[in-house]
Amino acid sequence: MSNLEEYIPYFDKKVIVLFDPLSPEAESYRSLRTNILRYNLDRPPKVLLLTSAHPEEGKSITSVNLAIVMAEIGKKTLLVDCDLRRPSVHGILGMDKTPGLSEVLYGTEEWDRVLKSCGIENLYIITSGTIPQNPSEIIGSDKARAFLEEVKNVFDVIILDAPCILAVTDGLILSSLADGVLNVIMAEKTPREAVMRTISMLKDVKGKILGIVFNKVNLRRSHYYYYYYYGARKKK
């Protein structure tokens, strides 16, 4: 594994768990990790999908920070940028977008040949790859299902950074393949109606909603920055 110092100058400063690991913000990501892993102690969710109602609500930076804290505790973690329309994971981590997921789903690359390192032990990245003309079709393809089945046998945790729900169908398609869905919303900005509509649409396709991540809470008005609402009942 390459040295983290080689990569960190290219990271977005919002990767708070690395740039300010003792901050309340970073600790909130670790609390989120704990809640996810305690959801079912016998069989914690392996494939996690992060989505939002609208673009630019912080789902991708949340996906990256969550992937890092999972890797920190020794979980072999795969972060996949499944937003094949407006991908951003590669930008957050300062790496090339291609080759990536779209090449895997088109069959021109094997998934283990497009794995990327960001210098963090136990963490592997598959970026979006080339922007395809038919994102929904390849996301919903048999090749996509086969890809997820293969990586589930290799990784402890797989985090899918998916497109926003209200704009395109890709996230809904992927939610049916995930063990759990986290809905990221921007505090005091995302309309309540949009949140409720997103939840309703996920339920319609039987998406397993674990809870909601509130992003960009005003620190002057609250003691936290990221707060995870554990909305689903714990399994016994």
Q: What is the pLDDT of residues 70-127, one digit of tens each?
A: 999 999 999 999 999 999 999 999 999 999 999 999 999 999 999 999 999 999 999 9
Q: Do 3 and 197 meet the contact criterion of CB atoms below 8 Å apart?
A: no
Residue 18 is predicted with a pLDDT of: 96
Q: What share of the chain has pLDDT > 90, as a percent?
A: 74
Pseudo-torsion of CA 147, 133, 79, 230, nearest 10°? Answer: -100
Q: Do 95 and 116 meet the contact criterion of CB atoms below 8 Å apart?
A: yes
- The structure's pTM equals 0.90
Residue 226 is predicted with a pLDDT of: 44
Pseudo-torsion of CA 46, 47, 52, 53, nearest 10°? Answer: -120
Taking the C-alpha atoms of residue 216 and residue 214, their distance in angstroms, rounded to an integer, is 7
Q: Does domain 4-229 have CATH number 3.30.200.20?
A: no
Which regions in the chain score pLDDT beneath 50? 1, 219-220, 222-236
